[in-house]
Chain A
Amino acid sequence: MIDEEERRVSRLAFGEGWPVLGTSLLVGTTFGVVARQAGLLPVEIIGMSLLVFAGASQFAMVQLLSESAPVPIVIASVLFINLRHLLMATSLRPRFEGLSRTRRVLAAFFLTDESFAMATRHFRRGGRGLAYYLTFAVALFAVWNVATITGVVVGGSVGDPRRLGVDFAITATFIGIVVLAVRRPAHVVVAITAAAISGALALLGAPTIAVITAGLVAPLIAVFARR
Chain B
Amino acid sequence: MIWVAILGAAIATLLTRSVPFVVALPIRPPAVASRYLEALPVAIIAALIGPAVVLPEGSLTHGAEPLAAVLVIATVVWRRTLLAGVLVGVVGVAFLRML
Contact = CB atoms under 8 A, between A and B. Distances in A.
Interface in A147-180: 162-180
Contacts of B29: 86-87, 90
Contacts, number: 302
A53 B17 CA distance: 11
A-side interface mostly: helix
A104 B19 CA distance: 10
A81 interface: yes
Interface string A40-70: 1000100110011110110011011100000
A175 B73 contact: yes
B80 interface: yes
B10 to A, nearest CB: 4
Sorting the interface of chain A by its residue count into under 10, 10 to 19, 20 to 34 or 35 or more gives 35 or more
B45 A60 contact: yes
A20 interface: no
B82 A180 contact: yes
A44 B3 contact: yes
Interface of B: 1-10, 12-22, 25, 28-29, 32, 34-57, 60, 65, 68-69, 72-73, 76-77, 80-83, 85-86, 88-95, 97
